[in-house]
């Protein structure tokens, strides 16, 4: 059973159920009718063929009904897509960069991570980029998927509604190690998330300071030896 952990679960699962139900209904209907016609109109019972004249009413019916059904399925998909692509105002922004074969996440304060940490019950806007080939950001538990395309920024959003750790996959074939391009979404209580973000910012600042000091010492050593 796939986890149900975001605001898009009910809408997406309902659309999926409706589309599958329609497909199964027509599969069974056509199969049953085909078997009935094969038995009823076989050669032994109908040795002599009889011409059948067309019916305008029947032709209009079997054209209009499928058209309406397809339009309903399109509308359900369009509404879901539009909702996924329109983040609410005030959403927390995370830049997601895809490359062969890993994910990178960058927060508004400059913090970077290879896993996506988000607070519980808070709207998160993901801005999707790729630096090489086409990828697709896919979180099954959130029922969300959006392509990452070079030279273009795609936008999606979600609201995580259950604590936990959830898989992130690339759903677009992107080369030899495509199957190994995965990460995770870690959903934390908001206080824990804020603490993680602040601690991570301090660590990165300290690390940057150490790297700068090391570079200065190496340059001084080079000048002395010269």
pLDDT digits (tens, 9 = 90+) for 37-84: 888 877 777 667 677 777 888 899 989 999 999 999 999 999 999 999
- Chain-centroid distance, C-alpha 137: 5
* 34 half-sphere exposure, CB direction, 13 A CA radius: 6
Instruction: Assign 140 to helix, strand or coil.
Output: helix
Among 208, 213, 189, 84, which residue's Cα sits nearest to residue 137? Answer: 84
Show me where the domains of the chain are located: 1-212
Instruction: Let me know how many helices (H) and strands (E) the chain has, helices first.
Output: 3, 10
What is the rounded average pLDDT for all residues in the chain?
88
CATH superfamily to which 1-212 belongs: Cupredoxins -  blue copper proteins (2.60.40.420)
CA distance 143 to 155: 15
Residues 124 and 118: beta-carbon distance below 8 Å: yes
pLDDT digits (tens, 9 = 90+) for 167-197: 999 999 999 999 999 999 999 999 999 999 9
pLDDT digits (tens, 9 = 90+) for 16-43: 999 999 999 999 999 999 999 888 877 7
Residue indicated by tokens 């970077």: 112
Q: Where are the alpha helices (DSSP H) in 42-180?
A: 56-84
């Amino acid at each position: 059973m796939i986890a149900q952990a975001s605001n898009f679960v009910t809408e997406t699962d309902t659309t999926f159920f409706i589309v599958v139900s329609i497909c199964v209904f027509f599969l069974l209907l056509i199969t049953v009718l085909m078997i009935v016609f094969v038995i009823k109109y076989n050669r032994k019972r109908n040795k002599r063929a009889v011409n059948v004249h067309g019916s305008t009413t029947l032709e209009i019916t079997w054209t209009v009904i499928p058209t309406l059904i397809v339009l309903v399925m399109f509308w359900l998909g369009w509404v879901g897509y539009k909702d996924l692509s329109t983040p609410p105002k005030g959403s927390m922004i995370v830049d997601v960069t895809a490359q062969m074969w890993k994910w990178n996440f960058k927060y508004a304060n400059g913090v970077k991570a290879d896993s996506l940490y988000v607070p519980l019950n808070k709207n998160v806007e993901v801005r999707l980029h790729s630096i090489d080939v086409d990828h697709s950001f896919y979180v099954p538990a959130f029922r969300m998927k959006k392509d990452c395309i070079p030279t273009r920024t795609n936008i999606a959003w979600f609201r995580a509604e259950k604590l936990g750790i959830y898989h992130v996959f690339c759903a677009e074939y992107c080369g030899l190690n495509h199957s190994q391009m995965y990460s995770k979404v870690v959903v934390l209580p908001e206080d824990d998330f804020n603490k993680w973000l602040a601690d991570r910012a301090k660590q990165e600042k300290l690390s940057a300071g150490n790297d700068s000091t090391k570079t200065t010492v190496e340059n001084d050593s080079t000048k002395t030896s010269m």
